[in-house]
Structure 1
Amino acid sequence: MGRVSSVAAYCLLVGLYAVERLAELVLSARNIRWSLARGGVETGFGHYPSMVVLHTGLLVGCLVEVLVLDRPFLAWLGWPMLALALLAQGLRWWSIRTLGHRWNTRVVVVPGMPLVTGGPYRLVNHPNYVAVVVEGVALPLVHTAWVTALVFTVLNVPLLAVRLRAEEAALGRGRGRGRG
């Protein structure tokens, strides 16, 4: 794959991720309305703006690093990272589908609803966050944007810790199946 075509393909990939994120936000807004109509309560909203900035920064960083710093596509790294990024997307949408109307990008919980224990939640408490961690490394490394992968990962660790504490508190427990 030539340099121009690999960069164009990568820009298209990141663009598709951006469109997917916008679709998530539309779905999330619909689901938040559903939850609030059933007495849902939002908590832990203080970290949300930082999360939006960080996740937007991941996509922007992927493009800027590849375009400005002239990162190459290395097939031995790029193809496996693409596979991981796509698997992470699959896990994300499996999580979203399993939670149904209860999935959203904020921490909104409808009191009294039972915890979801099916789908990927029977395997791990927060499968969507597993997807985020994998994607934060894999998507940039598809085109060797290692600085973006490193910065996102380092900044995501404390943010994810705050998010997990907020979700666990909202769900009224210290362990068990999550919603993320």
Structure 2
Amino acid sequence: MMWPSIALLAFVTLQRLGELVLARRNTAALLASGAKEVAPEHYPVMVALHAGWIIGLWLLASGRPIALFWFLVFMGLQVLRLWVLATLKGRWTTRIIILPGAPLVRSGPYRFLRHPNYTIVVGEIAALPLAFGLPLYAIVFSLLNALVLYVRVKAENAALKSAMILK
């Protein structure tokens, strides 16, 4: 049966496309209210990584059985993703956007982690390929994601610190 894997891949693809629309809208609103983008040079690499991850899954995972445990882990991460989106509301974006004078969000999952969205993405990049029985794929993309996140988190923390938001 191919339809479960196709349905899961379609869900993830549509979710990511919807998030890009939301991010673009939020970014435009933030910039219009005086926010500044920081360290945009890594953004195309991050987009390429995520696009490659999804495209590769379509090529390799379509029609494969889905391991229930890893599927449930992945779906649990989706609940946490919604929590992040609900907490940040209009401040959620895929870019590093600093709004001068805005306090750092410390509610929701941000009470527990400085970067919960990145933690969720780390889990997703590994869990979804593992749900399709693709451990090497999970390892390769997890390592690539770690490189991108190293650059991104470093840039984001520096931007927050320079904006006097992060102490």
Kindly provide the amino acid, as one letter, of the partner of residue 51 in structure 2: T
Query: Which residue of structure 2 aligns with residue 16 of structure 1?
Result: 11
8 Å CA contact 1:109, 1:171 repeated in 2: yes
Alignment pair present for 1:134 and 2:123: yes
Query: Which residue of structure 2 aligns with residue 89 of structure 1?
Result: 78
Alignment pair present for 1:49 and 2:41: no
Deviation at 1:133, TM superposition (A): 0.6
Secondary structure in structure 2 of the residue aligned to 1:172: helix
Cα RMSD for the two superposed structures: 1.7
Secondary structure in structure 1 of the residue aligned to 2:30: helix
Q: Which runs of 5+ in 1 are unaligned?
A: none
Alignment equivalent of 1:64, drawn from 59, 64, 71 = 59
Deviation at 1:63, TM superposition (A): 2.2
* Cα separation, 1, equivalents of 2:133 and 2:101: 46
* Cα separation, 2, equivalents of 1:167 and 1:140: 28
Deviation at 1:49, TM superposition (A): 0.6
Secondary structure in structure 1 of the residue aligned to 2:154: helix
Please show how residues 108-123 of structure 1 align to structure 2 within 5 Å. 108-123=97-112
Q: Which runs of 5+ in 2 are unaligned?
A: none
Alignment pair present for 1:40 and 2:35: yes
Runs of 4+ with deviation above 6 angstroms: none
Kindly provide the amino acid, as one letter, of the partner of residue 80 in structure 2: L
Query: Which residue of structure 1 aligns with residue 89 of structure 2?
Result: 100
* Cα separation, 1, equivalents of 2:42 and 2:4: 33
Deviation at 1:147, TM superposition (A): 2.6
Secondary structure in structure 1 of the residue aligned to 2:161: coil
- What is the aligned length? 164
Task: Using the aligned pairs only, state the percent identity.
Answer: 40
